[in-house]
Copies of this chain bind each other. A is one copy, B any other.
Amino acid sequence: MKKKQPMDELRKRLSEVYYLSSILNLLNWDQEVNMPHRGSGPRSISIAHLSGIVHNKFVALDKGGVLTNLKRQLDAKKLKGKDAVIVYETWRSFDRERKLPEKFVREMAEITSKAQNKWAEAREKNDFSLFLPWLKKIVSLKRKEAELVGYTDSPYDALLDAYEPDMTSKEVSRILDDLKDFLVPFLKRIKESKIKIDDRKLSGHFPIEKQVEFNEMIARKMGFDLESGRLDKSTHPFTSGFHPNDVRITTRYSEKDIFYSIGSTIHESGHALYDQGLPEEHFGTPLAESVSLGIHESQSRLWENNVGKDKPFWKYFYPKLQKEFPKPFKSIPTEAFYKAINAVKPSLIRTQADEVTYNLHIIIRFEIEKEMIEGSIDLAKLPEIWCFKMKKYLGIDVPTDKEGVLQDVHWSAGLIGYFPTYSLGNLYAAQLYATMNKQIPRLSNKIAGGHMEEVKNWLRKNVHIHGKTYSAQELIRKITGEYLNSRYFNEYLEKKYGEIYKLEKLTRKSR
């Protein structure tokens, strides 16, 4: 019985930290979705205060040596099962958090909250110089964070680890270089194909209210539970899970382009299904936390691309789309529709990129932010560097910083080391989806028949309910029998786009 007591005490303390953190998430959600314009000043101060408190509570997990003693028991292999997971994962976060002084945490929270507004202004005015001083502050804070946390190889590793535990920049470089080696020539082949796809036929006039209904219908059909969640509008679509019973997604709407909302809704619903599928009974411990951002992204991308841009999904939804929006869809046959939503064309904006070019956007960001943190780049030159790389990898010119280096919120929010998880997510998704297709007989038919719960249930059983029980690498190996590799993703692209663009088969180089 005595052995149980410190565990209970740790659970109690942890629970408070998780509930308070979920308040921070609500503050951020509200800031994006509801907050009136002039509320931003006071909001950053509230966020800074609460961030300081959460940090202090986190560090105080070890008050009386409770956590240290449990860690010793863990190392001596005296803890098993769920307790072992809780102590292992809590120690990992604690060990990072305790190295950061409270003052640093508050400063980071306040600066990044303010910098997001400055970034929005700079983007609106297409003026990088407005953002530059804030970016300098943030990069300097993040470099300091890396020093405080510590690292062996690159300071970038210390940041990456917060989003994708155990991943290193060396490993990411290897994976992304492989990907680049595949993608750049693959994109060239597509560009040279005689098949040209015109996706302008998909545009039209779509009243927002009807779009909202259609998006909600898709989200529900995927299994998103609106008794435990919401769907709202915001400038940048995102998912915020406060608790498995309160998970909120946002999407964005364009009157001319219904896929502007649908793509985001499917993507965010994928994230939301993960958050709603975490085991409620373990909320307040790492057992009800997602594995990593890469695994989280695999859930959204699997739904958005592997499922949501494939024929079976639209076999089910296309007749509904045609019924709700006869103009223009009544006159577009299913096959032409399928090709149009999968048109590959290098473009300026990451969030609107197709599956083939998307990872090239990520590679550019990763290469730049790694150098930012390693201090080997002049921040004032970012716009030029951006243009250079866009030309080199995607072959296009960047007309404005608004559509270039200023397009993403991440850096202004202090999220450096975050971008690579998007590409990892794509790779995880492809590997998971290949396995899912092996394990569920006639999955395509089931999806085409509207049985989306097949996908949801498989992901729930294999990924969601485990929380942080396994590391990303362990989990992917447990499910697919292999560690993460880019083979599945490359094969997937080759097969799908080989068909669409009638590409000649090449002898594939294995990595």
Contact A23 B22 (CB under 8 A): no
The residue in A226, A227, A243 that gathers the most chain B C-beta atoms within 10 A of its C-beta is A243
Rounded to whole Å, the gap between the CB of A203 and the closest CB of chain B is 27
- Complex CA distance for A163 and B19, rounded to whole angstroms: 29
Please judge, given known A-B contacts A36-B246, A53-B53, A246-B35, whether A42 and B30 are in contact too, CB under 8 Å. Answer: no
Q: Is the CB of B16 within 8 A of A245?
A: no
> What residues on B are CB-neighbors of A227 within 8 Å?
36-38
Stretch of A43-51, A254-262, A414-422 with 4 or more beta carbons under 8 angstroms from chain B: A43-51
Q: A27-B26, A30-B30, A34-B230 are in contact. Are A243 and B20 (CB under 8 A)?
A: no
Q: Which 3 pairs, one residue from A and one from B, show the smallest C-beta to C-beta distance?
A: A39-B246, A42-B243, A38-B245
In the bound complex, CA of A24 to CA of B103 (Å):
23
Q: Separation in Å of the A227 CB from the closest CB of chain B?
A: 5
Give the distance in Å from the alpha carbon of A438 to the alpha carbon of B453 in the complex: 70
Q: Which A positions have Cβ atoms within 8 angstroms of B?
A: 15-16, 19-20, 22-23, 26-27, 30, 34-39, 41-43, 45-46, 49-50, 53, 225-230, 242-243, 245-246, 248, 283
Q: Which residue of B lies closest to A41 (CB)?
A: B245
Kindly state the separation between the CA atoms of A466 and B419 in the bound complex, as whole angstroms.
50
Q: Give which listed residue, B37, B42, B226, B243, contacts A19 with CB less than 8 A.
A: B42
* A229 and B36 within 8 A (CB): yes
Copy number in the complex reads 2
Task: Name the residue among A20, A27, A42 with the largest chain B CB count within 10 angstroms.
Answer: A42
For residue A37, which residue of chain B has the nearest CB?
B227
Given contacts A50-B20, A242-B42, A283-B42, contact A26 B30 (CB under 8 A): yes
Known A36-B228, A230-B36: A245·B42 in contact at CB below 8 Å: yes
Known: A26-B26, A39-B228, A227-B38. A49 touches B246 (CB 8 A): no
Known: A26-B27, A34-B34, A36-B226. 8 other contacts (CB 8 A): A15-B45, A16-B49, A19-B49, A36-B227, A36-B228, A38-B245, A39-B246, A42-B245
Contact B39 A19 (CB under 8 A): no
Q: Kindly provide the distance from the CB of A103 to the nearest chain B CB, expressed in whole angstroms.
A: 13
Residue contact A246 to B23, C-beta cutoff 8 Å: no
A49 adjacent to B36 (CB under 8 Å): no
In the complex, what distance in Å separates the CA atom of A202 from the CA atom of B446? 55
CA distance A315 to B226 in the complex (A): 45
Contact yes or no, B38 A27, CB < 8 A: no
Determine the residue in chain B with the shortest Cβ distance to A243.
B42
Chain B residues with CB under 8 A of A22:
42, 46
Q: How far is the CA of A23 from the CA of B46 in the complex (A)?
A: 7
Q: Which chain B residues lie closer than 8 Å to A246 at the CB level?
A: 35-36, 38-39, 42-43
24 A–B contacts, CB within 8 A, in A order: A15-B45, A16-B49, A19-B45, A19-B46, A20-B46, A23-B50, A26-B26, A36-B229, A36-B230, A36-B245, A36-B246, A37-B227, A38-B225, A38-B245, A38-B246, A39-B242, A39-B245, A39-B246, A41-B245, A42-B242, A42-B243, A42-B245, A42-B283, A46-B242
